[in-house]
Amino acid sequence: MDRIYIYMIGTAGSGKTYLTQAFSDWLSFKRLNNIIVNLDPGAETLPYSPDVDVREWFTLEDIMLNYGVGPNGAQIIGADLISTRAIDIKDEIEQYDAEYIIIDTPGQMELFTLRRSSEVLIDLLDRKRSMIVYLFDPVVSKTPSGFLSLLFMSASSVFRLKLPQIPVLSKVDILEEEEVERVVNWSNDPDELYDELSGEGLSIELFHMLRDAGIFRPLIPVSAETGYGMDDIYDGIQEVFYGGEDMERLIF
């Protein structure tokens, strides 16, 4: 069966875990077989019950005890341990008859994007059938410099993981309608953002760099709370794998 692996990536608190649940629920409602993989050994309570869960093999607590480290060190060791369990994760996934594999990554984005372990997992599962849903935190995205910073981080994750990416603006239910429109406009038309940047040297330099590299892409507004935008994520996924657009172009 052709599986599609969807990695949820974004800064801590951007809504990865709740979007994982909401998107899984939407797929199930549409009778599209899907499973959820939790890669966060530090997850205490999850709004969903994961079908595959790294905590089956190790938790943050275990690591702190076994390695004599604090929570931060344990997070890093946990991220590195994922590669040692990559085959087990793959085996468990393959026991399910699911086309969509939604992968919830650890809270701190760099634990996934910067560790070599993630590349091992992506390659082992199926790099060619993998993509990222990158979440823009709504509160950070509201200001021009915040938006530009998140765009920069999204570029860094694409550069590092070399996977196609769908950018979403998460939790839009907490923004005013005009705020959503404004941020989405920046993503559609970089000149709109340019006009609002305060004209400081560095942000202008950064702006030009990201625009020239083709990093600006239309943001999909979504809300795990209301279910808004789930169909647009689905359409985005279809476009990545079955659309006319060349995958290479989506990877920049």
Q: Which stretch binds ligand GDP (CB under 6 A): 153-161, 197-205, 223-231, 238-246?
A: 223-231
Residue 225 near ligand GDP by CB under 6 A:
yes
Q: Which stretch binds ligand GDP (CB under 6 A): 13-21, 50-58, 74-82, 157-165?
A: 13-21
Phi-psi region of 13 (alpha: psi -120 to 50; beta: other; left: phi over 0): left
Give, as ranges, the residues between 102 and 161 that touch ligand GDP (CB under 6 A): 107
Q: What does the alpha-carbon distance between residue 200 and residue 205 come to, in Å, rounded to a whole number? A: 9
Q: Which stretch binds ligand GDP (CB under 6 A): 14-22, 52-60, 72-80, 192-200?
A: 14-22
Residue 15 near ligand GDP by CB under 6 A:
yes
Q: Using the rule CB under 6 A, which residue among 174, 202, 209, 213 binds ligand GDP?
A: 174
Cβ-based neighbour number of residue 172 at 10 Å = 24
Burial class (CB in 10 A: 0-12, 13-18, 19+), 205: exposed
Are 102 and 35 in contact by the 8 Å Cβ rule? The answer is yes
Residue 10 near ligand GDP by CB under 6 A:
yes
Are 186 and 147 in contact by the 8 Å Cβ rule? The answer is yes
- Closer residue to Mg ion in complex, CB, 11/34: 11
Q: Using the rule CB under 6 A, which residue among 61, 126, 173, 239 binds ligand GDP?
A: 173
Bridge partners of residue 101, in order along the sequence: 5, 35
Bridge partners of residue 168, in order along the sequence: 135, 220
Residues found near ligand GDP in the complex (CB under 6 A): 10, 12-18, 107, 170-171, 173-174, 223-225
